[in-house]
Structure 1
């Protein structure tokens, strides 16, 4: 009985930990992607080209 409670709590905690790690990875990927896109825009924008309209 005690083992069942321990295992249930362990599995719930482990699932929450993995969900948190996944969310952190997604956030880091999103922020890094935005950073690299900004660097790319700055690096390849020439002052003589007209700005693009959205």
Structure 2
């Protein structure tokens, strides 16, 4: 699984264990506050 639209709007502390349980390749789940500017082409294997 690569996206979790059902978690949008949930508390940020609730989502990481759900995501990690559904995709064992996910090792880190950054929690981004609403309104934070983020890049849209995020790649976990790239350093910016």
Q: Comparing both structures, which one devotes a greater share of its residues to helix?
A: 1
TM-score (norm 2): 0.26
TM-score (norm 1): 0.24
Structure number with larger C-alpha Rg: 1
- Greater RCO, CA 8 A, separation 6+: 2
